[in-house]
Amino acid sequence: MKIAVYPGSFDPITYGHLDVVSRAAAVFDRVAFAVLVNPHKSVPIFETDLRLTVIREAVAEFCPPDVAARIEVESFDGLTVDFCRRRKATFVVRGLRAVSDFESELQMAHTNRKLAPEVDTVFFMTALEHSYLSSSLVKEIAAFGGDVTQMVPPAVSRRLSGRGRSL
């Protein structure tokens, strides 16, 4: 069985992430979202448990049932490759939006391979219509009360609406 891990902060999940995971689920038997508990970036808009709930709802809303059945959602703390080993996953899935993503993704893929030679990274090119999206921009727009409904699934937008400057 081919198992892949899709690691990230997913704070919040966007339509770009859903596109990548759906396409990965067409290639692998199982794909496990691995939600990093403590992203060192900034204060998360959604705490870990809420991020897991939101992702599960978004997958149920967005993915056809046969695809959703192959997608799991978990959190992790520590190294991605250690999570892969625990899950018996031999692939890491990442999305590439533009050339600007490439350098850091290349570094991560090589580093992970050095740490765990049995784990390979597979990239999916984010669909063109989602290639401008990023969780941090969604967060900023939502903080100023902007409309993010075209960028994130309803599971996210209904929780953001009205929170405005409190984000």
Active site residues: 17, 41, 97, 135
Q: Where on the chain is the footprint of ligand PNS (CB under 6 A)? A: 7-9, 36, 39, 79-80, 108, 111-112
Shortest reach from residue 66's CB to ligand PNS, in Å: 26
Q: Which residue lies nearer to ligand PNS by CB, 20 or 36?
A: 36
CB of 9 to ligand PNS, least distance (A): 4
Largest CA distance in the chain: 46
Nearest to 109 by CA among 85, 88, 89, 93: 93
Cβ-based nearer residue to ligand PNS, 13 or 148: 13
Residue number, 3 or 108, with CB nearest to ligand PNS:
108
Position closest to ligand PNS via CB = 8
Q: Residue 107: exposed, middle, or buried by beta-carbon count in 10 A (0-12, 13-18, 19+)?
A: exposed
- Cβ-based nearer residue to ligand PNS, 13 or 155: 13
Least distance in angstroms from the C-beta of 98 to ligand PNS: 14
DSSP letter string, 112-148: HHHH-TT-EEEEEEPPGGGTT--HHHHHHHHHTT---
Cα separation values, 142 from 7, 30, 146, 157, Å: 24, 32, 5, 9
The dihedrals phi and psi of 57, each to the nearest 5 degrees, come to: -65, -40
Q: Taking the complex as a whole, how short is the minimal distance between the CB of residue 115 and ligand PNS, in angstroms? A: 7
Query: Going by C-beta distance under 8 Å and a sequence separation of 6 or more, which residues neighbour residue 155?
Result: 13, 54, 55, 57, 58, 61
